[in-house]
Chain A
Amino acid sequence: MHLPAWRFGKPYESLERDTLVHFLTGEPVAEVSQIGGALVGRDLQKAAQARAALLAIDPETIVERLQTAGNLYANGTVTLGDTKQSPEDFVKQQSATTGLPESLCRANMQKNMFVLSNMDRILDALSRGLDTKILWQGHGVEHRGVTVSYQPQSPVLGLVLPSNSPGVHTLWLPVIALGVGLVMKPGSQEPWTPYRMAAAMVEAGIPAEAISLYPGATDVGAGILAGCRRSMIFGSAKTVDQYRGNPGVQVHGPGFSKIILGDDCVDDWERHLDMMCESVAINSGRGCINASAIYASRHTKAIAEAVAARLGPIDVKPPDDPEAKLAAFTIPGAAKAIWGQIEGGLKDPGVTHATAPYGPRLVEGERCGWLRPTVAHCASPEPAIAKGEYMFPFVSVVECPQERMLDAIGPTLVCSAITHAAGFQDRLMSCTHIDRLNLGPIPTTKLDWLQPHEGNIIDFLYRSRALQLPATASA
């Protein structure tokens, strides 16, 4: 199987190819064309054509076609490169190259389909009821009779996509429905979702010239960021720092998501054990929305032990086992290196390894490795491990007085705060380093798709600006 690059819909077979192999057996799964950054730069000079192709179709039709694409993506057989791919092929291929259990691949597929199927509702929520025709025309009159204008900041959105969690693709799915083209660098191990999604969209009638796929090395990512006036990049904390303050780049890095138990509710912590375990371990703990810390002022040892008792026994299973919950680290030596780092942190004063009674955490395979769920108890927020986030089910249960919690937690993508205390709720609402706030026992991983995630994508792609027209023209 060969996946060519897509240059605004035109397949391009490179002379240079990467071979993706099965993480367990090393058997080839697919070849992926590798292109260079300059090719991207050249194509992007014609990016305006991508938006023009979308604007030639009315926005309601685009949404309908995206809904069809969602169905095709989840249930249909699509053409991918030189091969037909069924949903089952997709699951097996994605699992083979990413190390994700097949059950998790299927779950992420449903997540992506849900977003596409509900695109009309999602757009309505994100745009606060704006008629999407206004985005097509650039201006219009709102239902309250006010002239509004939205100016696109880029004809395409550049995407430097990750390999770790196929669920993140939900973030860019509304882009086409906003009349903006897609320029994607797929993750090197997970080209599957962007390729299948693009194929499903085109088969559903989305113009092929609105979509590009550029597999390649880091210079492709650099080319996309340099050539697109709006880009989204997924990466490490270092990547986040590098692009912080750049208005053209939306960076998605580690989430450092957390659960906070307020003093008024912490005595009932056992009622929330399911919610805590789900937040930590679902999707193999790979997402930025998985909780990496639980904060409470008391009962923390008991909480750590109870979470450890639930998650600690989870063991490695074959990827096609429906009960498999842990993804492999497919880069040789990665699991061992991460475990080495965690082991160091577990030796710090005030830190206890709560999952120690459940056997070794590091499982090494011939070509890959796994890390079994790990729970650390921290007697205070000071130990470095209290701020750790790793790509597997890992959580620190941190003892911290409630009045210090919001200063101690640091940047937090999702915070699920269990408290009824009005004063604490007010402080949570005002806390600017919390992005998504769940007030109540809602798992950090349970996303309401009608809410913006790390900024509203419409605000990122469009600028609301003043437009004054003569009275007759605006009527």
Chain B
Amino acid sequence: MAKVSSSASLSGKPPVFEVAGDDAVKKARAELDAHTVEMMAWHFHPSTGCPFWLEEATKLPFDPLTDVRCFDDLKKFPPFEDEWLRGGPVRRWVPKGLADQPVFVFETGGTTGVPKSRYNSRDFRTDYEQFSATLPEQYFPKGANWLMLGPSGPRRLRLSIEHLAQFRGGICFCVDLDPRWVIKLIQKGWMEHLEAYKQHCIDQAITILEAGHDIRCMFTTPKLLEALALALEKKGTTIGKVGITGIFSGGTEFTPQWTRFAVEELLDGAFMTPTYGNTLMGLAASRPVVPADGYTIAYYAPQPRAVIEVVDFDNPDERVPYGGTGRVRLTTLTKETFIPGFLERDEGERELPYAKYPWDGISGVRPFRKLAATTTVGVY
């Protein structure tokens, strides 16, 4: 069966958001090109680069220090293999220029086998501080306390959300969820256990929300948000009535329909901002999600620290036209981490630059069709 999307970008209708002007786009591109050159100078200089890239540079048929003059020159690198991120030693990723900084390791995947890991020192804080600037004060007031209801453990989310709350002057209360166990429950078909585990998380969240902590902001996942809203409704209350005014959430199940349902029926006036992010990239903010735009959710990477491109399925060096469908290609360009042209496990539609983020975006993010059958999604 063919799936149709009601995304405005595919409908042929004029965009209902403020498209970035040419000058802003050019300026952003120039900044990205300059940042790329700066990052090459850092990651490939013997005094500052990490052991992995310094060794890789010896195998390259070009010199990143001199032959990369703009972002598009990063295509000279061979495809980044995600297998490189599995296993140790993690210190091979730590740039010499940051060797004296504390090292965090954040993991992704890992239900079975060795998880992929990313070294972090301060990036997660920087990412969330920048993201903080995108949160509307009206719904995410400074000084407000937060609830983090979602995956913690080896993921970076717990520390990141806690830092976000603290950065904004609040305190973060946490309820943990172990996504690896959730995936196992699904794979084993233990649906009663899955339901019980979800309920266990929701019970804890409600206890905290009703304990007088004056929590007004929340991070959670779509599945947990649904469960929380329904559990509150059963108790005769709502997300809005327990005091939540702003919700920051993320996940590939963030479809326009789901968002519409949440806005119309679950949130009771609370504001929700979808995000797309992962351990490798950081956090992509969304442009405002509005009914007039068919609840299209379009994400914009935190350029120049990370870049999302929507590329041809067969030729990852070629971007698809605006509105076209392609695979997500991710480039990370921070002083801590350099990952060029990483092909993500997601696909979506290429979106026009937005006034606030004058570079390409992506909408309709969903699991990459060739991998979707083997991927367990929407689990938490």
A467 interface residue (CB < 8 Å to B): no
Q: B292 contacts the other chain (Cβ, under 8 Å)?
A: no
| A42: interface (CB < 8 Å) | yes
Query: Taking the complex as formed, is B130 at the interface, i.e. its CB lies under 8 A from any CB of chain A?
Result: no
Looking across the interface, which residue of chain B has its beta carbon closest to that of A26?
B2
Chain B residues near A219 (CB-CB < 8 A): 378
How many residues of A sit at the interface, in one of the four size bands? Answer: 20 to 34
Known: A15-B260, A36-B257, A219-B378. A42 touches B265 (CB 8 A): yes
Q: Give bound CA distance, A34 to B3, whole Å.
A: 10
Number of B residues contacting the other chain (C-beta, 8 Å)?
26
Chain A residue numbers with a CB within 8 Å of B257 are 14-16, 34-36
CB distance from A81 to the nearest CB of B (A): 16
**CB nearest to B6 among chain A residues:** A15
Main secondary structure of the interface of A (DSSP, over half): mixed
Q: Using a CB-CB cutoff of 8 Å, which residues 220-267 of chain A contact chain B?
A: 222, 226, 242
- B255 interfacial contact with A, CB 8 Å: yes
Are A38 and B230 also in contact (CB < 8 A) when A15-B260, A219-B378 are?
yes
Contact B265–A39 (Cβ < 8 Å): yes
Tell me the complex Cα distance, A42–B191, Å.
19
Question: What are 15 A-B pairs at a CB distance below 8 A?
Answer: A15-B255, A15-B260, A16-B6, A16-B255, A17-B6, A19-B1, A19-B3, A20-B1, A35-B257, A35-B261, A36-B226, A37-B226, A39-B261, A242-B189, A242-B191
A446 to chain B, nearest CB (A): 35
The 3 A-B pairs at the shortest CB distance, nearest first, are namely A38-B226, A16-B257, A15-B257
Residues of A21-65 at the interface with B, using a CB-CB cut-off of 8 Å, are 21, 28, 31, 34-39, 41-42, 45
B contact residues around A21 at 8 Å (CB): 1-2
Closest chain B residue to A222, Cβ basis: B191
Instruction: Say yes or no for B4: interface residue by CB 8 A criterion.
Output: yes
Q: Which residue of A lies closest to B234 (CB)?
A: A45
- In the complex, what's the smallest C-beta–C-beta distance from A162 to chain B, in angstroms? 16
Which residue of the partner chain A has the closest CB to B255?
A16
Distance between Cα atoms of A219 and B234 in the complex (Å): 20
| CB-contacts of A1-19 with B (<8 A) | 14-19
Q: Which residues of B contact A39 (CB under 8 A)?
A: 261, 265
* A188 proximity list for chain B (CB < 8 A): 1
Instruction: Tell me, yes or no, whether B298 is within 8 Å of chain A by CB.
Output: no
User: Which residues of chain B from 171 to 216 have any CB-CB distance to chain A below 8 Å in the complex?
Assistant: 189, 191, 195
Q: Which residues of chain A are within 8 angstroms of B4 by Cβ–Cβ distance?
A: 17-19, 31
Q: Mark B220-247, 1 if CB is under 8 A from A, else 0.
A: 0000001101100110000000000000
Q: Tell me if B217 counts as interface (CB < 8 A to partner A).
A: no
Majority SS at the chain B contact face: helix
Query: Interface residues, chain B, CB within 8 Å of chain A?
Result: 1-6, 189, 191, 195, 226-227, 229-230, 233-234, 255-258, 260-261, 265-266, 294-295, 378
With a cutoff of 8 Å between Cβ atoms, the chain B residues found around residue A35 in the complex are 257, 261
Of all chain A residues, the one with the shortest Cβ separation from B260 is: A15
Is the beta-carbon distance between B230 and A42 smaller than 8 angstroms?
Answer: yes
Chain B nearest CB, measured from A99 CB (Å):
13
Closest Cβ–Cβ distance, residue B157 to chain A (whole Å): 22
Contacts of B260 in A (CB 8 A): 15
Residues of B within 8 A of A45 (CB): 230, 233-234
Q: Give every chain A residue within 8 A of B227 (Cβ-Cβ).
A: 38
Question: Using an 8 Å CB-CB cutoff, how does the interface string of A449-468 with B read, 1 for contact, 0 for none?
Answer: 00000000000000000000
C-alpha spacing A36/B230, complex, angstroms: 13
Nearest residue in A to B195 (C-beta to C-beta)?
Answer: A226
How many Å lie between the Cα of A16 and that of B234 in the bound state? 27
The complex places the Cα of A14 from the Cα of B1 at a distance, in Å, of 17
CA A263 – CA B226 in complex, angstroms?
61
B1 touches A15 (CB 8 A): no
Q: Which of B3, B255, B256 meets A18, CB within 8 Å?
A: B3
> What 10 new A-B contacts, CB under 8 Å, besides A19-B2, A28-B2?
A15-B6, A16-B255, A18-B2, A36-B226, A38-B230, A42-B229, A45-B234, A222-B191, A226-B195, A242-B191
Q: How far is the CB of B378 from chain A (nearest CB, A)?
A: 7
Please name all residues of chain A whose beta carbon is closer than 8 Å to the beta carbon of B2 when the two chains form the complex: 18-19, 21, 28
Nearest CB of chain A from residue B377's CB, rounded to whole Å: 11
**How far, in Å, is B370 (CB) from chain A's closest CB?**
16
Q: Distance (Å) between the CB of B202 and the closest chain A CB?
A: 12
Residues of A contacting B295 in the complex (Cβ-Cβ under 8 angstroms): 15
List of A residues within 8 angstroms of B266 by Cβ: 38, 42
Cβ contacts under 8 Å, B226 to chain A:
36-38, 41
Q: What's the minimum C-beta distance from B51 to chain A, rounded to whole angstroms?
A: 45
**Alpha-carbon separation in the docked complex, A280 to B70 (Å):** 70
A15 x B191 contact (CB < 8 A)? no
Hey, which chain A residues are within 8 Å of B255, CB to CB?
A: 15-16
Partner of A42, one of B1, B233, B256: B233
Contacts A42-B233, A45-B234; A18 near B265 (Cβ below 8 A): no
In the complex, what residue of chain B is closest to A242 when comparing beta carbons?
Answer: B189
Q: Tell which of B1, B3, B258, B294 touches A36, judged by Cβ atoms closer than 8 Å.
A: B258
Q: Which residue of A lies closest to B194 (CB)?
A: A222
Q: State A15–B262 Cα separation when bound (angstroms).
A: 13
The chain A residue sitting closest to B190, CB to CB, is A242
Report the minimal beta-carbon distance from A235 to chain B, rounded to whole angstroms: 12
Contacts A15-B6, A222-B191 known; A38 to B261 CB distance under 8 Å? yes
How many angstroms from the CA of A1 to the CA of B4 in the assembled complex? 14
1/0 per residue, CB under 8 A from B, across A163-195: the answer is: 000000000000000000000000011000000
Chain A residues near B256: list those with CB within 8 A. Answer: 15-16
Interchain nearest-CB distance for B380 vs A (Å):
13
CA distance A98 to B233 in the complex (A): 39
B230/A41 in contact, CB under 8 A: yes
B231 nearest in chain A by CB position: A41
Q: How far is the CB of B110 from chain A (nearest CB, A)?
A: 24
Most buried by A among B3, B189, B191, B257: B257
Which chain A residue lies CB-closest to B222?
A38
* Nearest opposing residue in chain B for A28, CB measure: B2
Question: Is B230's CB under 8 angstroms from A18's CB?
Answer: no
Rounded to whole Å, the gap between the CB of B225 and the closest CB of chain A is 9
- Note all chain B residues with C-beta closer than 8 A to A226: 195
Q: Is the CB of A15 within 8 A of B294?
A: yes
* Bound CA–CA A28/B6 (angstroms): 17
A-chain residues with CB within 8 Å of residue B378 when the two chains form the complex = 219
**C-alpha gap A39/B234 in the complex (Å):** 14
Which residues from A are CB-within-8-Å of B3? 16, 18-19
- Cβ of A237 to closest chain B Cβ, rounded Å: 13
A5 to B151, CA, bound (A): 33
Name which residue of chain B comes closest to A239, CB basis. B189
- Specify the chain B residue showing the minimal Cβ separation from A38: B226
A469 to B183, CA, bound (A): 52
Closest to B295 in A: A15
Residue of A nearest to B230 (CB): A41
Question: Does A18 lie within 8 Å of B1, measured CB to CB?
Answer: yes
User: Distance in Å from the Cβ of A96 to the closest Cβ of chain B?
Assistant: 13
> Which of chain B's residues has its CB closest to A18's CB?
B1
Closest Cβ of chain A to B9, distance in Å, is 14
- Chain B: which residue is nearest A97 at the CB level? B1
Give the residue among A18, A21, A39, A45 with the most B Cβ atoms within 10 A.
Answer: A39
Most-contacted residue by chain B among A14, A19, A189 (CB, 10 A): A14
B296 (CB) vs chain A CBs: closest residue: A15
A310, B343: Cα distance in complex, Å? 56
B236 to chain A, nearest CB (A): 11
Query: Given A15-B6, A19-B2, A36 and B261 touching (CB < 8 A)?
Result: yes
A18 to B5 Cα, complex, angstroms: 9
